[in-house]
Structure 1
C-alpha cells in the first residue's frame, strides 16, 4: 500500500510543479522540511498500543512519511535543471548530490546499530526501543536542517514557466520523448536493483552466512562504499559517451555483476 501511494505521489507532485512553475520548488522544500522530520520520527516511535494499533500506526505513519518524502524529494531532484543550462554542469551537480547521498548512507550504515546500543544503554528490547527513538530523533532534526539549507542555498536561476497542458496531452508528449522513456527505464531497473540488493543483504548475512545483524550492516556499508566510489566516474563517462549511453552501459555492468 505504501509503495502504491509513493508511486502516485512522485508524478502527482511533478505535475503540480509543472503547472505552477519552477519558482515554487524552494518554497515547497522549505514548507515540507519540518513535516518531513516529524513524520520520520513518528515512523520509529514505539507507542504503547495494542498489537493491531501498532501495525495500523506504523503503516499510517510510514505512508504519510513516504508521501511527504516524495513531495519534497521530487522537486529537489529537479533543481539541477533550474540552476544551470549546461548539460555538463547539471551532471556535475547531480554527481555531487549523489556523493553526499552515498556519504550519508555510509554514515547511517556504520553508526546505526552501535548508536542505538549506546544511546539505549544496553542490549535489551526496551533499551533498543529507547535508543532507536533518540537516534531517529537526532536524524530527523538533522534532516530537517539539511532540507532548510537546501531551500535557502540552491538558487533557481532558470525556473520553467508554468505548463497549462492537460494531463492526457502531457503524457502523450512524454511517451513520444525517447530520452524520457529511456531515463525512466533506467531509473526503474536501478531502483529494482537497489531494493533487491539492500533488501537481501540482511537475509544473506543471517540465513546464508549464519552471521549477526552487524555482519549485514557491514555488507551494506561495503556496498555503499562502492556506490560512493562510482559516483565520481559519472561526469567523465557522461562527457565521453553521453548521458543516456553512460547510463545504459552502467546498467548492463550492474546486471552482469
Structure 2
C-alpha cells in the first residue's frame, strides 16, 4: 500500500485528536494538581503522597506491556486499537472521579484510599492510552501526514491543558464556595463527563490503515527482543522517562511556588493592573461577567493564588498552542524531528533554570520566563509521538515484524513512570526541606520549593537533550524507511 493512498482527512485528524484532549483532562490533573491535592486538600504528608505516586508506577510496570501485548493481538471489525478506546471510556471516568474524592478517614485510611484509587486510575490509563497512542502509528505510513496528525492532536491536547491548568482552581473555588472537597468533586466530575464524550467521538471517527506483515508470527518473546535491541526505542524510552519526570516535578513544584513563594500582595497588584480584581463590586462588562463565571475575578487576597496561578498556566498554554500550530511541523519538515527536539529542549532547560533567580515580587519576569519556556518547549510536543511512530516503522523495517502496541506500551510506561518519579521527587524534596501544608513556610522550605520549580527540573530536562544525541533516525533515514516499507506492503511482504 503506497503512502499516497494513506492521506488522512482533516475531520479524522480532529476526531483522533479529541482522544488526547480527553486523556489530558486526566493527565494534566495528575501532573499539575495530584500531589498538591493530596497534601493541601486531602491532608496527606508530602513524602507519603509522593510515595503513593511512585508505588502506582511500580504496580503499573506490569500493566503497560500487558496492554501492548493484548492490543497487538486484538482482532475486531474495528481494528486492533480503536476498540480499547471505547471499552475503557466509562471506567476511566469513574476512576478519575474516585481519585479526587476526600472521604473522612484516618491518616492511614487516607493513604490506603489514595493509593488504591490512584493505582486504578493509572492502570485504566494504560488500557486506554497505550492503544490510543498506537492508533496514531497505524492511521498512515506517510511521515508528513503522521506529523500533521500529531500536530493537530496536540493542538487539542493543549486546549485541554489550558482548561485544566487555567480553570481547575477557579472552578473549585466557584463550586466549593469555601468547601474545597466539594469544589474538587464537582469539578472533576464535570471533566470526567467531557472525557467520556470525547473518547467516544474518537472511536467513531478514526480508521486503522497499517497492519502487520501478512506472514508475521505472534511471539511475545520476539516482540520484546525486537524493542530491547532497537536503539531508537531505547533512546525514546530514556527521553520520555526524564521528560515526564521533569514535567511532573515542575508542574507540581509550580503549584507550591505560586502558593508559598510568590508574593501575594505583588500578585494582587499585578492582577489588578490587568483588570482581574473586582474592587469589591460585581463585574459589569460582558467579558468580566464571563471571567467571573469561571472564577477568574479576584474579590480578596484569598483568591489570589487560584487566579494568579491559573493565569500563569493559561498564558503558557496559549503560547504553547501558537508554537505547536506555527512552528512544530514547519521546523521539523526543514530540519528534521531530532534536531528540532534537541535545540528546543535545551532552550526549555535554560529558561526553566532561571525561575530560581527571580524575586518573589517580580511577577512580570515570572510571566515572561513562562512565555519563553512555553515557546521553546512547544515544537517538541507533537514530535515525541510522531517519532514513536517512526520507531515502530524502524523496528518493522529492520526486523520484518510490526508490534506497534508493544512499542508504544514501553513508552507509555516510561511516561507514567516519569509522572510517578516526578511527583515523588517533588514531594520528597519539599518534605526534606521542612514543608508543612497550609502554613507560612520557613526559609529552608521556600528554598526546596524553588529548587523543584527551577534548577532540578532544568537538569532533568537536559538529560533528555543528551539522550536525543543518540537517536539515529535522521530525516533522510526516515524517508528511506518509509519508501522501503511502502514497497514491501505493496508486494504484501
Q: Deviations over 1:224-244 (max 9, x none)?
A: 333323222221122112223
Show the counterpart of 2:245: 192
Structure 1 residue 64, shift from structure 2 partner = 0.1
TM-score normalized with structure 1 length: 0.88
After superposing the two structures, state which structure 1 stretch, 92-101 or 213-222, moved more. 213-222
Residues 143-166 of structure 1 deviation map (CA, whole Å, 9 limit, x = unaligned): 011111111111112233675123
Q: Which moved more, 1:102-111 or 1:177-186?
A: 177-186
Answer yes or no: is the 8 Å Cα contact 2:140–2:146 preserved in 1: yes
Confirm whether residue 97 of structure 1 aligns to residue 161 of structure 2.
no
Query: Which position in structure 2 is the counterpart of 1:16?
Result: 70
Matched ranges for 1:156-167 at <5 A: 156-160=208-212, 164-167=218-221
Q: What is the aligned-residue RMSD (CA, Å)?
A: 2.2
1:33-182 correspondence to structure 2 within 5 Å: 33-120=89-176, 122-123=177-178, 127-160=179-212, 164-167=218-221, 169-182=222-235
The aligned residue for residue 83 of structure 2 is: 27
Q: How far has the Cα of 1:44 moved from its partner?
A: 1.3
Q: Could you tell which deviates more after superposition, 180-189 or 146-155?
A: 180-189
Q: CA deviation at 1:115?
A: 1.3
Q: Could you tell me the TM-score, scaled by structure 2's length?
A: 0.48
Q: In 2 relative to 1, CA 8–256 (structure 1 residues): closer, same or farther, beyond 3 Å?
A: farther
Unpaired runs of at least 5, structure 2: 1-54, 265-303, 352-493
Distance 2:217 2:240 in 1: 24
Change (3 A) 1:208 1:49: closer
Q: 1:247 maps to which residue?
A: 341
Residues 1:236 and 2:289 are matched in the alignment: no
Q: CA deviation at 1:65?
A: 0.6
Q: Is the contact between residue 36 and residue 65 of structure 1 (CA under 8 Å) also seen in structure 2? A: yes
Cα drift, residue 193 of structure 1 = 2.4
Which residue pairs with 1:4 in the alignment? 58
1:208 to 261, 265, 273: 261
Does the Cα contact within 8 Å between 2:73 and 2:80 map onto a contact in 1?
A: no
Distance 1:46 1:196, change over 3 A: closer
CA distance in 2 between counterparts of 1:115 and 1:248 reads 37
- The structure that has the greater radius of gyration is 2
Q: Distance in 1 between matches of 2:220 and 2:96?
A: 34
- Residues 109, 86 of structure 1: alpha-carbon distance in 2 compared, 3 angstrom cutoff: same
Higher helix share: 1
Q: Secondary structure at the match of 1:189?
A: helix
Distance 1:12 1:248 in 2: 32
- How many pairs were matched up? 252
Q: CA deviation at 1:87?
A: 0.5
